[in-house]
A and B are shown apart, each in its own frame.
Chain A
Amino acid sequence: MRLLLSLLALLALPAQAEEIWVTNEKDDTISVIDVPTLTVVRTIPTGERPRGITFSPDHSLAYICASDSDAVQVMDAETGEILHDLPSGEDPEQFALSPDGRLLFIANEDDAVTTVVDTATRQVVGQIDVGIEPEGMAVSPDGKVAIATSETTSMAHWIDVATFTPFANTLVDSRPRHAEFTADGSRLWVSSEIGGTITVFETAGQTEVGKVRFKIPGVNADLIQPVGFVFTPDGKTAFVALGPANHVAVVDTESLEVTDYILVGRRVWHLAFSADHSKLFTTNGVSGDVTVIDVAARAAIQSIKVGRFPWGAALRP
């Protein structure tokens, strides 16, 4: 009877449920979390060492950086079937899709190169020399500027999308990991894992306007290592994953002050919002789980076990 009921429940699900997709770096899988029930409903095999993940604008395709397969895989988001690989260059770690969904900017961590792939023709249309161990990638909301951050060189490289050439290289603190433009494109945020800061640039002049610094009572400063971060839709708040500090910081984007710290799982990497932005999902690499944060309450409400070393996270609404 119970089985029948759950079968009925499954059948009653809408064709496309709201899901968070999590890449498991050391399991070569994606764990698909169903947002209404907060449970893992699917585990999908991928190439080796999946890290960065993003969806096409219509969410029909998932792009996955399979770092050790030296490929970006394109997956049918409905069936989980790998449709084809994109030529990615060596060791792709993170990427960013242009707002029109056409160009994929890929950081090739072992190669000091950013590769640009046309997702329609599946051709490499550009390769740009950047610093050692490029990782963070971002594209401005107007699609005109791409950013690559290089971990060992400690720079943000500003790339003109029209010509695929860097027009500025700005130093940040040690080991930059992630870059994001604000929704209006006026500012760029870059997190530095070892430096323990986020550097905020004003994009018009590529000038630094401030730094976000973190301090958690009882946690050694050198364990506070900002990595991934996301902005709320109103642009007023950022949530920042602090790595082995096992906390997510809540940052006021105007004052650049931290207003709260939320305890999550161990070595928190990246985050993704639910569609209504009421919940935030964090990937916790060492504890192998995902923490669900109630955004309004600024509190963790649940842990969900996923695969080994969860890394990237993306919403499929």
Chain B
Amino acid sequence: MRTASLWAMFMVACAVAPAPALEVPVLYLRQEVDRPPVLSNLDPVPENLGLAGAEVALKDAQTTGKFLGQTFRLDVVSVPPGDDFPAAAAAALATHRLVLIDAPAEAQLAVADLPGARDALLFNVSSGAARLRSGDCRANLLHTLPEDQARSDALMQVLQTRQWTELVMVVGPRPADQVFAAALETSAAKFGLRIAARKDWTFDTDLRDSTLEEIPRFTQDFPDHQVLLVADETDDFGRYLPDNAWLPRPVAGSDGMMPVAWAPVLESWGAVQLQNRFEDHANRPMRSQDYAAWVALRAIGEAATRTGSADPATLRAYLLGPAFELDGLKGRGLTFRGWNGQLRQPIPVVNARALIGMAPMPAFLHQRNEMDSLGLDEPESACTAFKE
């Protein structure tokens, strides 16, 4: 920490034409969660999921800042499961006004509603819950992770583009699975696809021993379909569905064709440079939550650079204003939705090895911005906190 700030001071001293020095401290506030056990040990959730993205963005912001006499700092408060998260957040808000929150939806709201958060600027970098962008939105809480509905909309646009419109769905038992399944159903209806049947995954055996026997029989009584959807948001059983169902059909949703905020397979639009920086820093591929944290800190950096300010109200006004446009390395300039604080962004639909389509797909038009064909559009959001 000490060497980092010394380095920052050195860089300021070296800047050629330093503007008035500005310090921009950012907090990464995390509620650690106990993750449920999953069938496979192959892809553990990284300890620094999200945080590593913020760290890479910090380096980006520091490099820009050194030319302008701005120093960026990233501090971390990580609260173990069971500890008093709102209390820790309240303490942290005494020193930090710019906060990335990595926590479930309820905990996001608990922080946003603290008296100390009233004039802070908060970024939800971990929850896709629709309620945070609708009835439970907060004026001080912006969102850089796409909502669940934006992901399901992106997938349905790609399937509709392929004219694969006859679907069936397997849904996991966890609440997040049910929520994503509901989003898939809404999106299917929105874009004119049909989910002809739905089955709940109830098996509790370890599939690694008997995949071949169980999955084909589980999927045998589905009506014929073109795509098998799976809602398995904790990455539990979905990986055993592709190439293993009764009928030879592609899998989509939480496995197979996946709508994500970010994936290691992205290479166009400058993505490969970010993938390289991230790999060098974290020694692992970059995931969606890493991207959400990266883009949040990048947005703070961009707003601080353009306004010369670290004041939350000034930054918020700039981020929600017409001048803000961020290069998110997904081919389109990113902006925030003025009605609920959600970052507008393309949603890549990928498989394990390649990009399949970058939604919004060409045929899906919108009167304001094509990216608003993904997720809660203004008339669909019950959010009023942003209408001053």
- Could you tell me which A residues sit within 8 Å of B by CB distance? 109-110, 112, 131-133, 151-155, 157, 165-169, 171, 173-175, 193-196, 220, 222-223, 244
Contact B277 A110, beta carbon cutoff 8 Å: yes
Which positions 257-294 of chain B face chain A at CB distance < 8 Å?
270, 273, 276-277
B248 at interface by CB-CB < 8 Å: no
Contact B369 A152, beta carbon cutoff 8 Å: no
Contact B60 A222, beta carbon cutoff 8 Å: no
Contact A169 B17, beta carbon cutoff 8 Å: yes
Q: List 9 A-B contacts (CB under 8 A).
A: A109-B273, A110-B277, A133-B273, A157-B67, A168-B16, A174-B333, A193-B327, A222-B332, A244-B331
Point out which of A131, A152, A154 has the most chain B C-beta atoms below 10 A from its C-beta: A152
Q: Give A194 to B324 CA distance when docked, in angstroms.
A: 11
Q: Which residues of B contact A110 (CB under 8 A)?
A: 273, 276-277
Q: Which residues of A contact B306 (CB under 8 A)?
A: 171
Q: Give A169 to B326 CA distance when docked, in angstroms.
A: 20
How far does the Cβ of A110 sit from chain B's closest Cβ, in whole Å?
6
Q: Give A222 to B326 CA distance when docked, in angstroms.
A: 11
Contact A175 B270, beta carbon cutoff 8 Å: yes
Contact A175 B369, beta carbon cutoff 8 Å: no
B370 at interface by CB-CB < 8 Å: yes
Which positions 1-56 of chain B face chain A at CB distance < 8 Å?
16-17
Contact B64 A151, beta carbon cutoff 8 Å: no
Contact A133 B270, beta carbon cutoff 8 Å: yes
Contact B305 A196, beta carbon cutoff 8 Å: no
Contact B16 A131, beta carbon cutoff 8 Å: no
How far does the Cβ of B33 sit from chain A's closest Cβ, in whole Å?
32
B119 at interface by CB-CB < 8 Å: no
Please report whether the interface of chain A is mostly helix, strand, loop or mixed according to DSSP: loop
Known: A110-B277, A222-B369, A223-B332. A194 touches B325 (CB 8 A): yes
Contact with A along B321-347 (1 / 0, CB 8 A): 000011100011100000000000000
Q: Which residues of A contact B371 (CB under 8 A)?
A: 222
Contact B333 A195, beta carbon cutoff 8 Å: yes
Contact B16 A166, beta carbon cutoff 8 Å: yes
B63 at interface by CB-CB < 8 Å: yes
Q: Which residues of B contact A223 (CB under 8 A)?
A: 332
How far does the Cβ of A192 sit from chain B's closest Cβ, in whole Å?
9
How far does the Cβ of A226 sit from chain B's closest Cβ, in whole Å?
13
Look across to chain B and name the residue whose beta carbon is closest to the beta carbon of A133.
B273
Q: Give A133 to B56 CA distance when docked, in angstroms.
A: 13
Q: Which residues of B contact A168 (CB under 8 A)?
A: 16-17
Q: Which residues of B contact A175 (CB under 8 A)?
A: 270, 327
Q: Give A154 to B299 CA distance when docked, in angstroms.
A: 13
**Contact residues on B (Cβ < 8 Å of other chain), bracket:** 20 to 34
How far does the Cβ of A68 sit from chain B's closest Cβ, in whole Å?
10
- 7 nearest A-B residue pairs (beta carbon): A194-B327, A169-B67, A153-B64, A175-B327, A174-B327, A194-B333, A222-B332
A109, A133, A171, A194: the one contacting B305 at CB < 8 Å is A171
Known: A169-B17, A222-B369. A153 touches B273 (CB 8 A): no
How far does the Cβ of B307 sit from chain A's closest Cβ, in whole Å?
12
Q: Which residues of A contact B67 (CB under 8 A)?
A: 131, 153, 155, 157, 169
Q: Which residues of A contact B273 (CB under 8 A)?
A: 109-110, 133, 151-152
How far does the Cβ of B225 sit from chain A's closest Cβ, in whole Å?
32
Q: Which residues of A contact B60 (CB under 8 A)?
A: 132, 152-153
Look across to chain B and name the residue whose beta carbon is closest to the beta carbon of A223.
B332
B17, B68, B270: the one contacting A151 at CB < 8 Å is B270
Q: Which residues of A contact B277 (CB under 8 A)?
A: 110
Q: Give A151 to B274 CA distance when docked, in angstroms.
A: 11
Contact A195 B325, beta carbon cutoff 8 Å: yes
Contact A131 B64, beta carbon cutoff 8 Å: yes
How far does the Cβ of B270 sit from chain A's closest Cβ, in whole Å?
6
Point out which of B63, B276, B277, B371 has the most chain A C-beta atoms below 10 A from its C-beta: B63
Contact B63 A151, beta carbon cutoff 8 Å: no
Q: Which residues of B contact A195 (CB under 8 A)?
A: 325, 333
B63, B64, B331, B333: the one contacting A196 at CB < 8 Å is B333
Q: Which residues of A contact B370 (CB under 8 A)?
A: 220, 222
Look across to chain B and name the residue whose beta carbon is closest to the beta carbon of A151.
B270
Known: A152-B64, A196-B333. 14 other contacts (CB 8 A): A109-B273, A110-B273, A112-B63, A131-B67, A132-B60, A133-B270, A152-B273, A153-B60, A154-B327, A165-B16, A166-B16, A171-B305, A194-B332, A195-B325
Look across to chain B and name the residue whose beta carbon is closest to the beta carbon of A90.
B276
Look across to chain A and name the residue whose beta carbon is closest to the beta carbon of B59.
A132
Q: Give A278 to B250 CA distance when docked, in angstroms.
A: 51
How far does the Cβ of A222 sit from chain B's closest Cβ, in whole Å?
5
Contact B64 A132, beta carbon cutoff 8 Å: yes
How far does the Cβ of B363 sit from chain A's closest Cβ, in whole Å?
13
Q: Give A221 to B78 CA distance when docked, in angstroms.
A: 41
How far does the Cβ of A308 sit from chain B's closest Cβ, in whole Å?
13
Look across to chain A and name the residue whose beta carbon is closest to the beta carbon of B365.
A220
Q: Give A165 to B67 CA distance when docked, in angstroms.
A: 13
A152, A157, A167, A169: the one contacting B327 at CB < 8 Å is A152
How far does the Cβ of B354 sit from chain A's closest Cβ, in whole Å?
13
Q: Which residues of B contact A154 (CB under 8 A)?
A: 64, 302, 305, 327
Contact A153 B327, beta carbon cutoff 8 Å: no
Contact A132 B305, beta carbon cutoff 8 Å: no
Look across to chain A and name the residue whose beta carbon is closest to the beta carbon of B66.
A129
Contact with A along B118-145 (1 / 0, CB 8 A): 0000000000000000000000000000
How far does the Cβ of B230 sit from chain A's closest Cβ, in whole Å?
31
A169, A194, A196, A222: the one contacting B16 at CB < 8 Å is A169
Contact A155 B64, beta carbon cutoff 8 Å: yes
Contact with A along B51-88 (1 / 0, CB 8 A): 00000000010011001100000000000000000000
Look across to chain A and name the residue whose beta carbon is closest to the beta carbon of B371.
A222
Q: Give A131 to B60 CA distance when docked, in angstroms.
A: 8
